[in-house]
Structure 1
Amino acid sequence: MSRVVLVHGIAQQVKGPETLLGSWLPALNDGLHLAGADALHHEDVSVAFYGDLFRRPGHRGLGEPPLTASDVQPGLEHELLLSWWQGAADTETQVPGPDAPARLRTPRTVQRALNALSHSSFFASLTETAMIGSARQVRRYFNEPEVRQAAADRLAQAVTGDATIVIAHSLGSVVAYETLCAQSHLQDLTLITLGSPLAVRGIVFDRLCPAPHNGRARWPVPVKRWINIADRGDAVALVKDLGPCFGSRVRNLMVDNGARAHDIQPYLTARATGVAVAEALA
């Protein structure tokens, strides 16, 4: 049975657990190598995969139908794109901020956000359809109870009695937090969150279940150790310090992922991640 359970983030709908494990495990072992620890084997690690919950049913035509600014729904999708925009502008000089005058006449704030994000080192590799689709997955997770519950069920099934570590990236950190809060019978787990948006108030934090009280969220009972790792330029992990929201027991670490600030591979290959995993396994 697996000792380490990996939880992915958004935009993984056309992959699967074995596909992700094939790329995540070597990266994780690179981080362990930098930490001077032994490598993990395939049987030591599993992926709690929920990406297929966002996969569109088959349809005529080729590829995903294009999405434009006019397809962005008001509320969470709109707020999330603006949050990413502000985060990218705060850390990358080439990204014009929300308060900067637009060089081109764009009738919608959303279109300005999409145009600005196209200059970001992380979002530049994504089409408008991919950016909007990513925001839509977050909105669906929070607004569609059946999707939220199904994702939690996938993780709950993966965390068996042999599991000691849950490593969760991006939206996966939300899935991990909510699931572990509901699994009070588990114990002695280490939670490692990578590029987590958990503490972004007004967008993620205030939508968590269980709901925060007086500005503080509940500590997940099964977790004895929580290490949160973020890149300074990660626009998704807009709030790097989870302590004010989740308590001083969270250990926050910073890494440098280069131009791929939010990507999972550089998070896993970081020595800080390797040390956190090695300490938990020991």
Structure 2
Amino acid sequence: MATVVLVHGIGQQVLGERTLLAQWVPALSDGLARAGCPAVPDTAMAFYGDLFRPPATSLAVGEPLYGAADVTPGQELDLLTSWWAHAAEVDDGVAPPSGNTLARTSERAQRALLQLSNSRFFARLSERKVVGDLKQVTTYLSDPRVRAAARARVTALVGPGTRAVVAHSLGSVVAYEALCATPGHGVRALVTLGSPLGIPNHMFHRLDPAPSGSLGAWPGGDLLTWTNIADSGDVVALVKDLRPCFGDRVRNVLVHNGSDAHSVIPYLTERSTGAAIAAVLG
């Protein structure tokens, strides 16, 4: 079993574990080096992106051509609006949501997507990809089969020698739930990068196991450390401080990823990421 298990985020369905390892490991190596740990531990990628990839068919055109009309009312529209509101808080180029709640879902979604296209993060993403990523989040939370299969990809790689789990974006939710479902695991460090775990209603209150009162379950034993790392401009990580959700043992670190606030690469090259992992490798 790998010493460090990596868990990717949303939008990776056309890649695979080897492709992602080729991207992640050099960046992780840099983060460890910044923390004074030149050796790169044994790593494995828990890949679950294929669970969201449509099956191939004759004359297939690839993934669905999602647009504003495909955003459904309720959870999808609410989460999209939350992304929009947070983007407006951290980016002067994004106008905040209006108070018109009577507009049709497609009109509200189109306004949200238009404004998000002006943000530093979402400007790099097509409307099709933003809606596709939105649907991945809601599918994971609403489809028990997808949820169980994604978590199983993590638990299959976590063994007696696994010391750290490093998870990005939606992968932090998958990793958290997988560790909670594996009592007695030997993981000593959970490192979450650009995590949406603390988003109320859309994420935190839909976790499995469900929060008890105002606190979510601790994903391990007393020896587990949890470091949550977020860029102040990361729109996906709406809640930067996870202590109100999971207790004061969570160590929260704000970093600066430049223009790629949610990208996993600057998160991995950050010294704080390397230090959180290096601390449990001895």
TM-score bin (small chain) = over 0.9
- Once the two structures are TM-superposed, the CA of residue 272 in structure 1 deviates from its matched residue by 1.1
Distance in 2 (alpha carbons) for counterparts of 1:186 and 1:278: 19
Determine the structure 2 residue equivalent to 1:225: 225
CA gap 1:75/1:271 in 2 versus in 1, 3 angstroms: same
Determine the structure 1 residue equivalent to 2:74: 75
- Once the two structures are TM-superposed, the CA of residue 218 in structure 1 deviates from its matched residue by 1.1
Determine the structure 2 residue equivalent to 1:30: 30
Distance in 2 (alpha carbons) for counterparts of 1:62 and 1:159: 37
Determine the structure 2 residue equivalent to 1:120: 119
Query: Within the alignment, does 1:62 sit opposite 2:61 as a pair?
Result: yes
- Once the two structures are TM-superposed, the CA of residue 188 in structure 1 deviates from its matched residue by 4.4
> Counterpart of 1:261 in structure 2: which amino acid?
A
Distance in 2 (alpha carbons) for counterparts of 1:218 and 1:100: 36
Listed as ranges, the gaps of 5+ residues in structure 1 are none
> What do the CA deviations read for 1:159-205 (whole angstroms, capped 9, x no partner)?
11111000010111101111111100213421000000101001000
Distance in 2 (alpha carbons) for counterparts of 1:258 and 1:56: 33
Aligned counterparts, 1:72-151, within 5 A: 72-99=71-98, 108-151=107-150
- Once the two structures are TM-superposed, the CA of residue 227 in structure 1 deviates from its matched residue by 0.4
- Once the two structures are TM-superposed, the CA of residue 107 in structure 1 deviates from its matched residue by 6.8
What secondary structure, in the 3-state scheme, does the structure 2 residue paired with 1:158 have? coil
Determine the structure 1 residue equivalent to 2:253: 253
What secondary structure, in the 3-state scheme, does the structure 2 residue paired with 1:281 have? coil
Distance in 1 (alpha carbons) for counterparts of 2:99 and 2:231: 25
CA gap 1:212/1:264 in 2 versus in 1, 3 angstroms: same
> What do the CA deviations read for 1:200-257 (whole angstroms, capped 9, x no partner)?
0010001001111222111112461100000000011010000011000000011000
> Counterpart of 2:46 in structure 1: which amino acid?
A
Aligned Cα root-mean-square deviation (Å): 1.6
Determine the structure 1 residue equivalent to 2:243: 243
- Once the two structures are TM-superposed, the CA of residue 61 in structure 1 deviates from its matched residue by 4.1
* Residues matched between the structures, number: 276
> Counterpart of 2:202 in structure 1: which amino acid?
I
Aligned counterparts, 1:129-278, within 5 A: 129-222=128-221, 224-278=224-278
Moved more, 54-63 or 66-75: 54-63
- Once the two structures are TM-superposed, the CA of residue 100 in structure 1 deviates from its matched residue by 8.7
> Counterpart of 1:244 in structure 2: which amino acid?
P
Which aligned segments of 4 or more residues in structure 1 are displaced greater than 3 angstroms?
none
TM-score, length-normalised on structure 1? 0.94
8 Å CA contact retained: 2:9, 2:171: yes
Distance in 2 (alpha carbons) for counterparts of 1:123 and 1:191: 27
Moved more, 79-88 or 259-268: 79-88
